[in-house]
Each structure stands twice: as C-alpha cells, then as structure tokens.
A and B are shown apart, each in its own frame.
Chain A
Amino acid sequence: MTADVLIIGAGPAGLACAATVLAGGLAVELVDAGHGPGGQYWRHPAPGSPPDSAPGGGTPPGPLRLPRGLRGRGGHPASDDLHHDLGTYRALVARLEEGVAVGRAVTRFGHDVWSLTRDGDGWVAASHDRGAGTERRSRGRVAVIATGAHDVALPFPGWDLPGVFTAGALQALLKGNGVVAGRRVLIAGTGPFLLPVATGLARYGAQVVGIHEAGDPRDWAAHAPAVAQNAGKVWEGLTYAAGLARHRVPVHPRSMVVAARGAGRVQSVTVAGVSETGEPVAGSERDIEVDALGVGWGFSPVIDLAVTVGCRTSMSWSGPVVEVDDDQRASVPRLFVAGETTGVGGATLALREGELAAHRILADLGRPPVSTEARLLRLRVDRSRHKAFAAAMADAHPIPAGWASTLVSETVVCRCEEVPYAAVRRAVVEEGAGDVRQVKQLTRAGMGWCQGRVCEPACRGLVRSLGARSVAEQPGQVRSKGGRGDAPTERLVALPIPLGALADGEVVERSAM
C-alpha cells in the first residue's frame, strides 16, 4: 500500500504533521524506532505498562531505588508530571489513533528506518522491524523526515566510565523508565536543557550536587528581544529555577567538567572554572564525589536520510542541518523536513514546523486547507520567534573554545573503535587530515557501531583547532590543503539492520517481480 504521506519520526514534529494531514483526509504511514509516539520530548514508558506493576507492589532491589512518586496513575504511568504540554500530546495521539481506527493511518513503532529512496514519483522507506527481526518497506507519495536530534557529547578524561551519561540519557531513563540513574548526580555542559534534567532528577529523589554550566546565563541579557518574545520559554526557565531552589541545587556558571575518575564506574569528577577565552582555568580544579554524571553540550540534528537522498544542507551552530523553504520543503521534490532535523530549537518549534509542512502537503495533494490563513500566519510567526530564541540561546551557550585542552593522549575520542586522542592528533597535525572523513580513514574514529554520531562533533572541533596549528608547523605534510570542511557525513545506512533481514527482503522483492 502506498500512503499519501510517509512520515519518519513520531516526535512532536512528526506527530503534528500526521495529525494535520489526517485532519485533511489524507492517509498516513508513520514509522519510528521508538516503542510509541512522542519522540524525545514526550518520551513515555513502553505501552502496556500497567499503572502499578512493580514486583509485589514494591520497588526493585539494589541501591538505586525507583522513587515511589514515579509509580504512575492512569493511562500514562510514571512520568506525567515530568512533561510539559501533555494536553497537546494527548490530542495529537488521539487524532493519530482515530486515523488508525478508520484505516487511514498505519503506525510502525519499533522500526529502525535504514534507508529512504525514491520509488517512482514517491518514496520508500526500508526499515528493520526489531521485534520481528524482518525488513519492511513503507511507501508514500510524499515523505516527511522528522528524525529529531541527539545529544552532543564531547570527550574528556574518564568520559567513557560507566555512570557518565549524556544529559539526554538521564532524562530518557527518568521519563521513559522511571529510573533515577544515581543518588549523587552532577549535571554539566551548557544550555537550558540542563535545567529540566536537574529538576526532574532532584524531584525524584536524587541529590543533584550541582549544575556546572560552561556559559553564563547573564549572557541572555545580550539577546533581550529574542528572549522577551518568548514569554513561555522564560516562564518555563523560571519554573525550573524555582525547582532548583526548592531542591537546593546549586548552579555554577562558567564551570565545566575536566575529568571523571573511578574504578570501573564514575566515583568522582573534577570541575574547573571556564575563562573568558573558554579554557578551563588552571588551579581552579575541584573534586566532587558523585555516582552519576550527566553532560550535555546541546543537540545535533539527525539528518542522515536527508543527506542520502541529496537534500541541500548547511552548517548551523548545531552542526549540519537540512535546508528547507518557508513551507518546510527540502531541496528535492516531494520531500519535507520538520523539527530538529532542520535546526535545533525545541519541541514547540518542532510542532509548528510539522504543522506547516502538513499544510503545504494538503495543498500539494489537492486537499482543502484545514486551518485559516490567520492560523498559518501565527504558525509562521511562532516559528521565527522560536528560531530567534534558539539562536540566542546557542549564542549565550557556546561550547567553550578550549574544551579540548582537557584531553590527554590516552583519552578515548571514538568510543566505538577506542581511538585515543593521540591518534587523532597525529592524523591532523602530522598527516594533515583536513576533515572528519580523513580523520576517520586514518584512525578509524567514526567507523564503529555509531558511525561517528557520537565522536563527530569532537573530531570536527579537533580538525579545526589542531589543523590551524598543523599547517603552520608541518609544511611538507602529505595533505597540505583541501578538506571538505563542513560537508555533512554521508551515512547510507541510517541504522544497522541484520544481513539476514536484508537477505529475506531480497527474496520478497524477487517474488514480487
């Protein structure tokens, strides 16, 4: 069956798009790797969780107890009070479920889309149904990529110790599983996202020993107009601030983690002040005992499917993003992109983009509009407000220029292939690698399971900072110039799929011919 609209990603952007095109009478197929709708923002425990299913009504054994307050009530157990805007979420999901009930929507959760390719005039997404272990193809006349973003992580000595998480992982464990991943937790990195992570953990019983924010929230003042236009965001921020105060969580601006230590798991972290130039201040180091550390440096858009089909991309502060026009259309026909994939800006922005894409799709496929011009105008205004706010936040929360000065030769930069900093440095400084692709080919950094999603921001940064030095110091090196600089990495396989599933897919294909 070919749906009218094939949507990849059921986060805020994908859901908003699905609900709107369904309202306009189109048929939808929605594919997502997660176990249900919601994406990262509205992450919930897997469906079917009974309201209270803890063993014997108690809590699991072990030192990290599941907080009682997390045992849920009603339909969405565990984490309702961690979410914002649940009304919107429920309304969108209800529209989707209605669509499923009347046979106009098909949802495929637990499906990892590994490729998106052209299929005549339309599109076909091939995915790995993880539950069944098979490959499935989903077709649509129009496709929407709404694959969101993931945390940006940067290496430092000890970052690969168990107990060191991305900030998003702590949030996912809490929202999606009701698990508080430590008793003494330190939160570090930069950006407003650190606040909900810290308050959520504190509310559910963790002692959050501090938020070490590399930036300085006072820098927000420099962006007064963008901030002032987003009263909602400011209010949200104030709520978190109040929460932090209630739980006595100290916030340390201009401070960063320079090392984590421990035997087999994190036991302490070293923090240091951040100078005006973004370097850790020598002599300001301080050790803090923890049993979990969450670090977040912002988010990096997931753009692989769009890159593979040839969409134009550009470099933004959040890494490479897919370029879209005012109607969320990508540079290739019949393809729309919405949400963080076009630039990181939060869930509300993702919702607006998803809905705007849907309006254009309805028009393109000859359906009458489902909302007024006034609403469309409001969506567009909202979109630009949120984009401006996101840009202001990014400006106020840069990654410190000197983040890499914490690295020592043995620090693993690529976690998958266990490539140490010394190897990356050698590739850039001595062998003249001019971009992440060359670093990968010379060192294997980025060749492992995650395909460089985790180490790429670091490698990109290292090519830039070490590369400047290398040209000056090594005039005779093999790769003196060149380098694709900011070109996005191509990942033709967006997520791994077992060869057996592909092999059986080939049989299906042959018998269909």
Chain B
Amino acid sequence: MRGADDTTTFQFDGEPIAFRAGQSVGAALIAAGRLSWRTTRVGERPRGIFCGIGVCFDCLVVVDGRPNQRACLTPALAGMTISTQSGTGWTP
C-alpha cells in the first residue's frame, strides 16, 4: 500500500502531514512548513527543532498521546497522531 495517502501521512493537530519513509516527525513537519509544535512552560513561547540530533530537547511533541517525545528522533510512521505540546505535556 506504499504510495497511498493513508500510509504516508500522519495527523498533526488534526491535519494530515505527508512524509517520506525514513524522515523524522520533526523533519516532516518542517518540510510541511511547520517550524514549531511546542510552547514552553514558563513563557509559552513556540519551539521546534534546534539541534536536530536529540541533544537540546526543544523539539518535544506529543506522539500518540505520549508527551515529551523528541520530534527530531522519532521516525514518522503512517497513521501516527502527533499533537502540539504545551508546557510539560502533563495536566495537573
């Protein structure tokens, strides 16, 4: 089924994002023109990829309900649900 839309997109905040196999979630979001997918917990400032290699933890995102995943290291898989993370990613 490779090549069909549903196997090569994931959902980001309800919208489909196309990706090529082998790309990370963060790279696919950037390729789709999204530069940020997280807001910080103090200043609520937008963040996305900074170091690109798993060191800075700026690119944290919610992957299939699990917060705090590094988008730059998470391989994009068809059918994933990715959502913007606000603050710590946990509710009190």
Residues of A within 8 A of B (CB): 33, 35, 40, 45-50, 53-57, 60-66, 71, 77-78, 130, 150-151, 153, 160-166, 168-173, 176-179, 181, 264-265, 412, 415-418, 448-450, 453-454, 495
Contacts and interface: CB of A to CB of B under 8 A. Distances in A.
Given A54-B20, A162-B35, A265-B36, A173 B55 contact: no
B74 to A, nearest CB: 8
Contacts of A448: 57
Contact of A160 (B21, B47, B57): B47
Contacts of A161: 46
A70 B48 CA distance: 23
B80 interface: no
B57 A179 contact: no
A4 to B, nearest CB: 28
Contact of B27 (A40, A50, A176): A176
B83 interface: no
A177 B23 contact: yes
Given A47-B22, A176-B24, A265-B35, 6 more contacts: A53-B22, A54-B8, A150-B51, A165-B52, A179-B31, A418-B42
B22 A45 contact: yes
A453 B18 CA distance: 32
Given A46-B75, A178-B23, A450-B56, A173 B30 contact: yes
A287 to B, nearest CB: 20
A358 B69 CA distance: 35
Main secondary structure of the interface of A (DSSP, over half): loop
B92 interface: no
B54 A33 contact: yes
A150 B17 CA distance: 29
B45 to A, nearest CB: 6
Contact of A172 (B18, B20, B48, B53): B53
Contact of A53 (B8, B17, B34): B8
Main secondary structure of the interface of B (DSSP, over half): loop
Contacts of A45: 20-23
Contacts of A60: 17-20, 28, 31-32
Contacts of A49: 20-22
A178 to B, nearest CB: 7
A160 B45 contact: yes
B1 to A, nearest CB: 12
Contact of A179 (B27, B40, B55): B27
A417 B41 CA distance: 9
Nearest to A150: B55
5 contacts: A49-B20, A49-B21, A60-B18, A173-B52, A418-B45
B31 A66 contact: yes
Given A61-B18, A166-B52, A264-B36, A55 B3 contact: yes
Contacts of B73: 33, 130
B35 to A, nearest CB: 4
A181 B9 CA distance: 19
Interface residues of B, number: 44
A179 B23 contact: yes
B18 A162 contact: no
Q: Nearest 8 CB-CB pairs, A to B?
A: A169-B52, A49-B22, A45-B22, A177-B27, A449-B57, A62-B33, A162-B35, A62-B32
Give the residue among B3, B34, B41 with the most A Cβ atoms within 10 A: B3
A60 B19 CA distance: 6
B23 A168 contact: no
Contact of A418 (B5, B40, B53): B40
A169 B41 CA distance: 24
Contacts of A160: 45, 47, 50
Contacts of B28: 60, 177, 179
A12 to B, nearest CB: 15
Given A45-B23, A415-B58, A64 B30 contact: yes
Given A50-B2, A169-B51, A63 B46 contact: no
A37 B12 CA distance: 29
Interface in B42-92: 42-43, 45-58, 60, 72-73, 75
Contacts of B60: 449
Contacts of B34: 62
